[in-house]
Amino acid sequence: MVNERLNSANPSFDLKYRRKKNAEEMKHQVITFAMMIFFTLIAFAAVGFDFSKWFIKPVILLLAVVQVIFQLYYFMHMKHKGHSTIALFLFSGLAVGLLTVLTFLTIVWW
């Protein structure tokens, strides 16, 4: 079966395989999109119900980080092969940004 998938002599099998993979990919994207909408509603509800600021800020930041991970992983196709260089640049930029924020917070507090 592996040889059939690698062999493009059977176009109907290749078409079935691609349709199945595309259907799975679309299902994952719809589920992820629904989860991100749910996380956004949780953030709005936390603010709307007037919870403590000490509770709201970390929860909203956590939900934002989870949504960024979902965006990168599913919608920007970072899970596919061949995106290692792009991932390296994205994560390097994230590390530089976090170090910059940490540096300024440290300078301000001391």
Contact predicate 93/68, CB 8 Å: no
Question: Three-class SS of residue 81?
Answer: coil
Q: Residue 40 pLDDT more than 90?
A: yes
Which residue would you say has higher pLDDT here, 11 or 47? 47
pLDDT on residue 75: 76
* Gap between the Cα atoms of 68 and 76, Å rounded: 10
Q: What pLDDT is attached to residue 7? A: 54
Residues 6 or more apart whose Cβ sits within 8 Å of residue 59: 42, 43, 46
Q: How far apart are CA 46 and CA 69, in angstroms?
A: 21
**Long-range contacts of the stretch 28-31 (C-beta < 8 A, 24+):** 28/74, 29/74, 29/75
Over the stretch 53-66, which tens digit does the pLDDT of each residue have?
898 999 999 999 88
Q: Is the pLDDT of residue 77 over 60?
A: yes
